Structure 1
Amino acid sequence: MLAKVILDFGSARMRATTVAIDDPGPLERFLPDSGPSTAFIRKGEGFVGLGEAARFETDTLEAADVWWDEISEQIDHDSEMPGEFGTGPIAVGSFTFDPDRSEERSVLTVPQTVIGRRGDVFWMTKLGSDHNSMDLPSRGAAALAPVNPVAVGGAMGEDVWTRIVGEVVSLIRNDEVSKVVLARDLRIRADEPLDLRWILDRLIRDYPMTWTYLVDGMAGATPELLLRRQGGLVTSRVLAGTVWREAEGADPLQLAAELARSQKDISEHEFAVASVADALAPYCQAMNVPDAPSVLKLPNVMHLATDITGVVGPESGALTLAAALHPSAAVCGTPTHLALDIISELESLDRGRYAGPVGWTDMDGDGEWAIALRGGQVRPHHPQEIQLFAGAGVVADSDPEVELAETGAKLVPMLQALGLDPATATPAPR
Structure 2
Amino acid sequence: MPLPQSHPALVVRSVRIPDPGDLVSLIPADAEAPVCWLREGDGFVGWGTATAIQTQGTSRFADAEQWWRGIVKDAVVRSQVDLPGSGLIAVGSFAFAAASEAGGVLHVPATVVGRQHGVAWITTVSTAADLSGAAPLEASECPDAPTISEVGNGALSGSEWMAAVGTAVERIQSGALDKVVMARDVVVRSETPIDPRYLLRNLSDSYPNTWTYSVDGLIGATPEMLLRRQKGLVTSRVLAGTIRRTGDDEHDLALAGSLARSSKDLEEHEYAVRSVADALSPHCSSMNVPESPFVLHLPNVMHLATDVAGVLHEDVSSLSLAASLHPSAAVCGTPTLAARDLIAELELMDRGRYAGPVGWLDAAGDGEWGIALRCGELETPSQMRLFAGCGIVAGSEPESELGESDAKLVPMRQALGCGPS
Normalised to the residue count of structure 2, the TM-score between the two structures is 0.95
CA contact (8 A) 2:148 2:418 kept: no
Distance, in Å, in 1 between the alignment partners of 2:180 and 2:200 is: 30
Change (3 A) 1:404 1:131: same
Distance, in Å, in 2 between the alignment partners of 1:270 and 1:371 is: 18
- CA shift at 1:122, angstroms? 1.2
SS of the residue corresponding to residue 197 of structure 1 reads helix
- Mapped pair 1:93 → 2:63: no
Q: CA RMSD in A?
A: 1.6
Alignment-mate amino acid for residue 408 of structure 1? D
Which residue in 1 is equivalent to 2:219? 219
- CA shift at 1:313, angstroms? 3.7
CA contact (8 A) 1:149 1:418 kept: no
Which residue in 2 is equivalent to 1:230? 230
- Alignment match of 2:13 (pick from 13, 17, 42): 17
- CA shift at 1:3, angstroms? 1.6
CA contact (8 A) 1:17 1:126 kept: yes
Alignment-mate amino acid for residue 386 of structure 1? M
Which residue in 2 is equivalent to 1:40? 37
- CA shift at 1:174, angstroms? 0.9
CA contact (8 A) 1:86 1:366 kept: no
Per-residue deviation, residues 190-231 of structure 1 (Å, max 9, x unmatched) = 001211111111000100000000011110100000000001
Distance, in Å, in 2 between the alignment partners of 1:314 and 1:86 is: 22
CA contact (8 A) 2:242 2:259 kept: yes
Change (3 A) 1:249 1:291: closer
Per-residue deviation, residues 58-82 of structure 1 (Å, max 9, x unmatched) = 021121111111111111101112x
- Alignment match of 2:107 (pick from 101, 109, 114): 109
What is the correspondence of 1:154-233 to structure 2 with a 5 Å cutoff?
Answer: 154-233=154-233
Alignment-mate amino acid for residue 45 of structure 1? D
SS of the residue corresponding to residue 3 of structure 1 reads coil
CA contact (8 A) 1:95 1:107 kept: yes
CA contact (8 A) 1:276 1:328 kept: yes
Which residue in 2 is equivalent to 1:377? 377
Which residue in 1 is equivalent to 2:292? 292
Distance, in Å, in 2 between the alignment partners of 1:151 and 1:23 is: 39
Change (3 A) 1:237 1:42: same
What is the correspondence of 1:147-158 to structure 2 with a 5 Å cutoff?
Answer: 147-158=147-158
Q: Report the identity percentage.
A: 50
- Alignment match of 2:49 (pick from 39, 47, 52): 52
Which residue in 2 is equivalent to 1:406? 404
- CA shift at 1:152, angstroms? 2.1
SS of the residue corresponding to residue 198 of structure 1 reads helix
What is the correspondence of 1:123-138 to structure 2 with a 5 Å cutoff?
Answer: 123-128=121-126, 129=128, 130-131=130-131, 133=133, 136-138=136-138
- CA shift at 1:16, angstroms? 0.9
Alignment-mate amino acid for residue 87 of structure 2? G
- Tell me, which stretches of 5 or more residues in structure 1 are unaligned? none
- Alignment match of 1:417 (pick from 398, 407, 415): 415
Which residue in 1 is equivalent to 2:66? 66
CA contact (8 A) 1:3 1:57 kept: yes
| Larger displacement relative to structure 2 (311-320 or 141-150) | 141-150
SS of the residue corresponding to residue 123 of structure 2 reads strand
SS of the residue corresponding to residue 236 of structure 1 reads strand
Alignment-mate amino acid for residue 403 of structure 2? A
- CA shift at 1:14, angstroms? 2.3
- Tell me, which stretches of 5 or more residues in structure 2 are unaligned? none
Which residue in 1 is equivalent to 2:317? 317
Change (3 A) 1:87 1:249: closer
SS of the residue corresponding to residue 63 of structure 1 reads helix
SS of the residue corresponding to residue 339 of structure 1 reads helix
Per-residue deviation, residues 118-140 of structure 1 (Å, max 9, x unmatched) = 11121111111454556643333
Q: How many aligned residue pairs are there?
A: 415
| Larger displacement relative to structure 2 (144-153 or 187-196) | 144-153
CA contact (8 A) 1:173 1:396 kept: yes
Which residue in 1 is equivalent to 2:117? 119
SS of the residue corresponding to residue 243 of structure 1 reads strand
Distance, in Å, in 2 between the alignment partners of 1:337 and 1:148 is: 39
SS of the residue corresponding to residue 99 of structure 1 reads coil
Distance, in Å, in 1 between the alignment partners of 2:133 and 2:323 is: 38
Change (3 A) 1:133 1:97: closer
Per-residue deviation, residues 245-280 of structure 1 (Å, max 9, x unmatched) = 246566221111010000000000000000000000
Distance, in Å, in 2 between the alignment partners of 1:250 and 1:62 is: 48
- CA shift at 1:154, angstroms? 1.4
Per-residue deviation, residues 120-179 of structure 1 (Å, max 9, x unmatched) = 121111111454556643333431211134202211111111111111111111110010
SS of the residue corresponding to residue 26 of structure 1 reads coil
SS of the residue corresponding to residue 291 of structure 1 reads coil
CA contact (8 A) 1:165 1:400 kept: yes
